[in-house]
């Protein structure tokens, strides 16, 4: 089954304790992205990756790191979590994006989310 898998689903941690949220997709998608979703603010992009070893900042990258060593995996790293990073996080992937005709319409496939609480 084609899917984006995030782990863990729920995570409670303390300020400053490094954590990693994993994301894996089995659809051979080039594009992957991380979002956070907060009440009243909608989905905001944290980081994205156009392909292996190509990553870039989204709208709210502060306090986060990512890596894309393999096409299928795109982990989100919080080196020193703070309470303002308490949120619902989603990983997403799509077939491709780019300037070529027809590529500005690839739907995003989302994981089931990771609810992170930082105390």
Q: Which residues contact 24 (CB under 8 A, 6 or more apart)?
A: 4, 5, 72, 73, 74
How many angstroms separate the CA atoms of 91 and 84, rounded?
Answer: 19
| Residue listed under structure tokens 């603010």 | 41
Going by the DSSP 8-state scheme, the letter that residue 73 receives in this structure is B
- The neighbouring-strand residues paired with 99 are none
**Taking CB under 8 A as the rule, does residue 64 contact other proteins?**
no
Pairing of strands 109-110, 114-118: unpaired
**Taking CB under 8 A as the rule, does residue 38 contact other proteins?**
no
**Taking CB under 8 A as the rule, does residue 27 contact other proteins?**
no
**Taking CB under 8 A as the rule, does residue 40 contact other proteins?**
yes
The residue from 34, 36, 48, 75 that contacts other proteins (CB under 8 A) is 48
Q: Which stretch binds other proteins (CB under 8 A): 11-19, 22-30, 73-81, 84-92?
A: 84-92
How many angstroms separate the CA atoms of 20 and 14, rounded?
Answer: 13
Cβ proximity to other proteins, 53 vs 56, nearer residue: 56
The residue from 28, 51, 84, 112 that contacts other proteins (CB under 8 A) is 112
**Taking CB under 8 A as the rule, does residue 14 contact other proteins?**
no
Q: Which residues of the shown chain bind other proteins in the complex (CB under 8 A)?
A: 4, 31, 33, 40-43, 45, 48, 50, 56, 58, 88, 90, 92, 97-99, 103-105, 107-113, 115
């Amino acid at each position: 089954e084609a899917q984006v898998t995030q782990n863990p689903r729920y995570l409670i941690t303390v300020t400053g304790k490094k954590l990693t949220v994993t994301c894996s997709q089995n659809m051979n998608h080039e594009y992957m992205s991380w979002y956070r979703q907060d009440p009243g603010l909608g989905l905001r992009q944290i980081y994205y990756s156009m392909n292996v070893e190509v990553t870039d900042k989204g709208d709210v990258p502060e306090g986060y790191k990512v890596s894309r060593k393999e096409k299928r995996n795109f982990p989100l790293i919080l080196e020193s979590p703070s309470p303002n990073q308490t949120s619902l996080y989603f990983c997403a992937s799509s077939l491709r994006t780019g300037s070529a005709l027809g590529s500005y319409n690839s739907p995003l496939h989302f994981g089931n989310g990771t609810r992170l609480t930082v105390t």
